[in-house]
Structure 1
Amino acid sequence: MGRPGVSTRIGGGYDSDQRFLLPHFSAAASEGIKIDMDDNWAENTTVITGNTSEHSYSGVTERFYVQQPVGRVAARRCSRLCWICMAFLISVVSLVSAPLMAATPFIFSHLNYQWPPIVCEVDCQGYILDMGFKIVLLIIAVYMMYWRRAPADMPRLFLPRAAFACFILFILFAFWLFFAVRIVLERNPNYTYVISFALSLLNVLLFIHGIWLVYEMRQLRPEFIVTIVRDPDGESRTFDIGQMSIQEAAVHILRFYMAHFPSYNAFLDKARRGENVSRFKSGASQIGAGFKIYDIEGLGATEGGISEASARILMEAAARRRMTGHNERFYEELEWEKRLKKRKFRLVGCAEDAFAHVQAVNVNAANHKIEPMDVKNTAHAVMGGLWKPLTRYLRLTRQVPHHLPDKVTAHLETCLLYRFSARTFLQRFFSERFPAKEIVTESKWSIICDVQASSSIRHGLNFVLRCYNQDSTDMNVQLYCAFAAFPFFNLLEESERMKSKFALKQ
């Protein structure tokens, strides 16, 4: 713990009273030697030592994972079911309204409602034909808009689509009200008016669906630059995106991530970080040995943890200890790459020899008109020679859980069946992306943002997408998304009339 009045904000600047924190405390000091800084040092001193203490700190820090947020799953499912039923009801009412209006006089005449005689002239028959074609177009529009699989289950209400549905309901209510007052109650004897009214409703509905199509096409125009950084390995990609809400942008970003980012190998990342940290040395002690803290008076320790000032001291001490470890880390990286290349080229050599032997056997069988070997038996024979170098390579790169033996054998059978080369067979193991799963399940992500997910994206917006898939390679992966708007480009045209003229100066 530090002295009273000393700022302990992590990442902030140093005050004038903070210069005593690190220089007078050595991380390698033994037995907790204390430095006399002022008269009352024994009352407010934190000692860093390598001995046993009530609090300890290790350089090998584990990644902090949060639990999946528990939401109202039943409520969300009910709301989704209600929205599907409402969309289905609106679609059915929109499709049957115009034909029902046209058939209303016939229905009332059949029910003895004292409807005037129905007369349909040539122009009326043309309206009916026109109405039939527009009903077909409306069915196609409704099918393309609603009858498709939703890309995601969004946390907030999709405001544009909800407004569109409410506007459709208002249009249907207004037309049916006007039809009931001016056509049904007044018993209008002119059937052409009825057909014209139903045709007007179809025209309005088609026009509204056309406006929605223009709205969806507006999202295709690039308006922002999105920079995606994956935590914890720092893999980054950039692409453009149109104007849309945050939750819609999150869906586009996740689709881009699934298609263009290399697969995250959590096992390899954790193993490499553990090896690098454990091998850095400072004198005779290692960072993995950790630091020990003594809170002598018990004034600064928090319940179950350490004070903020002590945590800052530990971070500074660990940073200084790591400053001398860059050389060791450089050689460790070179050694690991050397081992990786050695096992990779050993696997390539074994695979090329095995495939060349299989090709020679097939050529010999063809020359002597012998029945070729069975693909399964050939694959098992080839895997007998490839299994050891392949397993050693997969263990080094921590890819064993992603390449099961039966899947590898099936892939080898496919390569032998179509007479692919050894490089084609090995591409699956050398690729940055793992093989796709046979069963595509839902992917669970959450949006962490300062504003509501239904708000529109803007310049300078940042949010985080966190994955909660338990059976996926992206478990506990976070995507940091930063948005920047395209600037207005001011283009000028410069004259090139003097391009072919020149002057020779002497």
Structure 2
Amino acid sequence: MDTESTHSGYSSRSGRSNRHGERGRERHKVSGSKDSSRSEKSVIINPPETSSQDSPVHNGEPLPGEASPGADPPDEAQDDNWGETTTAVTGTSELSISQEEVVGLGKGLQDRARGFRRYLPLAVGLCGGVLVLATPLVFLLLPVVIWPERLQPCGAACEGLFLSLSFKLLMLLTAIWALFLRPARASLPRVCACRAFLSTLTLLLAMSYWLFYGVRILDAQDEDYHGVVQFAVSLVDSQLFVHYLAVVLLELRHLQPRYSICVIRSTDGETRHYNIGQLSIQNAALTVLEYYYRDFPLHNPALLSASKHRAAKHPAGFKVYNVDAPGSAAGPPPANGSQSQAAIAAAQKRKDTAHNELYYEEADYERRVRKRKARLVVAVEEAFTHVRRMKKEDERASPTDIMDVREAALAVFPSMARALQKYLRTTRRQQCHSMESIQKHLAFCLINNMSPKAFLETYLSPGPTLQYGPERWLADQWTLVSEASVTSGVKDGADFTLRCLDFNLAVTVKSIPYIRVTESYVDPKSHKFVLLLQSETSV
């Protein structure tokens, strides 16, 4: 014991002296750097220590970020988010900036970059559309403006080309409006590869025609105006074929199912399966989100609190060591067999108790839900019966005494409000429905003469996310996480994650197998048989 204490004291003193020497060298470097250049800055980050034995002490005072000897233990005095509350001690400098300013500057740059990425494709598309529609018209106007006296007269065939060019430009304008001038469904992190390819192809086509036009028509001042009109018509035909290619790549290519994707919500394990075509990862993520808002029930964090409470109430069981096994000297101190058996029995008892409590909790919860549901159904049926009775009385009343449907909804709502509120609290869905939304739904059901069951269906079972208010959609808060590039196509075995504030959507991709169907001929005569009857009566 004396040897060990002497060795530990020597090691602590040596370690303390080494750290003092390192800090002295660092201070010497900092002082030398301040002499050479006043613009440099020294930053020392002191994270909270896990033990007070190895912490160096200067003049009997702890360093910033360390616990004092009389303070609480680190687990109680400091929170779990120690990385966010770490103190940064900066040296003397002429230029200093706070962490909040750095974060604000980075956020501003990120917002500007996001806006630039959002509006750049729109600007490029508008410029491309103006170039596509204006180029043929410019081809026709330049000869008339520059050398009109040398042009040959345009005959009937040339005038027919004018008519064809006008209708083709009108169809091209309508097609561009239908395909490209639609409101954007979402903002993707990267530019669509097919759209970039089509924009580049359109630009190359326009540049090629302009180059040919400048060399063969402008420089030579061609007098054949009929040929100029045919040249403009050929450009419009090429643009129509490019638009047909855009329809194939952007609208028709992904219609044939090629992959089956599995979408799992991380919190409650809600799972859905969908078939998609040949898409990029970011477009597949957009498709998954569209399906999610339509098919997945609304995410309710209140339903997960019961399992967390039960897990906190019943922590993990005891850790049992086999003291008779070889190499158990590194474990806890030896215990006799009776203590080990007692620990095993206690752990098994706790496990059985947790199972029984879970069983009775679920049974009691189902009983309370059925009770609240029965009271709610009775209250709603009575309210709707009262409304029908009042409606019959209003038919015989004067026009001035007739009550509006919304007024009737406000009048009968208090009779069912308490039962509905208790049911929503029991099922932990009270935050999904506000009083205003319930009154609007009640008025809608009364206007369309719906039954009480139709009114209750909205509250008895959770609906998809789109059936609730926009504040429940978590819009513009999704983050796509993928190891592969998001512009690359989905492949068999690929996976990516969509993250939002409260949960994640894990997506795995499987290829749909090639299906081979063969034919087997069945002879119609093989279905014929002979039935022989034996008479039991003698004739």
Normalised to the residue count of structure 2, the TM-score between the two structures is 0.69
Distance 1:127 1:164, change over 3 A: same
Asked if residue 427 in structure 1 is aligned to residue 457 in structure 2, the reply is: yes
State how far apart, in whole Å, the 1-side matches of 2:407 and 2:310 are.
44
2:362 equivalent to 1:333: yes
Percentage of matched positions with identical amino acids: 29
Q: Which residue of 2 aligns with 1:39?
A: none
- Checking the alignment, whether the CA contact within 8 Å between 1:375 and 1:417 is kept in structure 2 is yes
| Correspondent of 1:414 among 444, 448, 451 | 444
* Residues 359-404 of structure 1, C-alpha deviations (whole Å, 9 max, x = no match): 1232244356684434344323322221211111111122222221
Deviation per CA, 1:330-381: give whole Å up to 9, x if none: 2221211111111011100111012112212322443566844343443233
Match of 1:106 among 128, 144, 158: 144
Contact 2:317 2:347 in 1 (8 A): no
Aligned to 1:77: 115
Q: Is the 8 A contact 1:383 1:409 kept in 2?
A: yes
How many aligned positions are there?
Answer: 403
CA distance in 2, matches of 1:200, 1:169: 16
Instruction: Write out per-residue CA displacement over residues 436-476 of structure 1, whole angstroms, 9 at most, x where no aligned residue.
Output: 326888432111111111110011111111113xxxxxxx2
Please list, as runs of the form range in 1=range in 2, the aligned pairs for 1:430-449 lying within 5 A after superposition: 430-433=460-463, 435-437=467-469, 442-449=475-482
The structural deviation recorded for 1:174 is 0.6
Distance across 1 between alignment mates of 2:177 and 2:513: 38
The one-letter code matched in structure 2 to 1:437 is: G
Aligned partner of 2:235 in structure 1 is: 201
**Partner-residue secondary structure (3-state), 1:97:** helix
Which amino acid in 2 is paired with 1:237? R
Residue 129 of structure 1 corresponds to 163
Check the 8 A contact 1:226/1:240 in 2, yes or no.
yes
Change (3 A) 1:329 1:442: closer
Cross-structure match for 2:435: 405
| In 2: Cα distance, 1:141 partner to 1:159 partner | 21
- Structure 2's unaligned 5+ residue stretches are 1-71, 81-105, 320-329, 332-345, 533-539
1:407-435 deviations in Å (ceiling 9; x for gaps): 22222223233332222222221231264
* Correspondent of 1:354 among 369, 383, 392: 383
Matches within 5 A, 1:17-416: 72-109=110-147, 116-215=150-249, 216-270=251-305, 272-278=306-312, 286-287=314-315, 322=351, 325-367=354-396, 371-416=401-446
1:366 partner amino acid: E
How far, CA to CA, are the matches of 1:358 and 1:141 in structure 2?
Answer: 52
Question: Helix, strand or coil: the match of 1:429?
Answer: helix
Q: Is the 8 A contact 1:287 1:318 kept in 2?
A: no
Contact 2:151 2:224 in 1 (8 A): no
- Summarize deviations over 1:79-121 as a string: whole Å, max 9, x none: 32232211111110110111110111111136xxxx5133111
Structure 2 residue matching 1:225: 3-state secondary structure: strand
1:394–1:290: structure 2 CA closer, same or farther, 3 Å change rule?
farther
State the Cα distance separating 1:150 from its structure 2 match. 1.6
Bigger helix share: 2
SS at match of 2:147: helix
Consecutive unaligned residues of structure 1, counting only runs of 5 or more, are 1-51, 62-68, 280-285, 292-298, 301-316, 469-475
Separation in 2, partners of 1:503, 1:465? 63
Deviation at 1:322, TM superposition (A): 4.8
The change in CA–CA distance for 1:464 and 1:319 in structure 2 (over 3 A counts) is: farther
CA drift at 1:178: 0.3
When residues 141 and 375 of structure 1 are mapped into structure 2, their CA distance, relative to the original with a 3 A threshold, is closer
Q: 1 CA distance for matches of 2:293 and 2:118?
A: 25
Residue type matched to 2:315 in 1? I
Compared CA separation, residues 374 and 88, structure 1 to 2 (3 A): closer
Greater relative contact order (Cα 8 A, min sep 6): structure 1 or 2?
A: 1
Q: Does the alignment pair 1:452 with 2:502? A: no
Question: Structure 1, residues 462-498: CA drift from partner, whole Å, max 9, x if none?
Answer: 1111113xxxxxxx22111111111111111101115
Q: Does the 8 Å CA contact 1:365/1:372 hold for their aligned counterparts?
A: yes
Question: What's the CA shift string for 1:21-61, capped at 9, x where partnerless?
Answer: xxxxxxxxxxxxxxxxxxxxxxxxxxxxxxx99769xxxx9
How far 1:328 sits from its partner (Å)? 2.7
TM-score normalized with structure 1 length: 0.73
Would the aligned equivalents of 1:278 and 1:288 in 2 still touch at CA under 8 Å?
no
Greater C-alpha radius of gyration: 2
Residues 415 and 421 in structure 1, CA contact (< 8 A), matched pair in contact too: yes
Structure 1 contact 105–118 (Cα < 8 Å) conserved: no
Alpha-carbon distance in structure 1 between the residues aligned to 2:195 and 2:291: 23
Superposition deviation, residue 200 in structure 1: 0.9
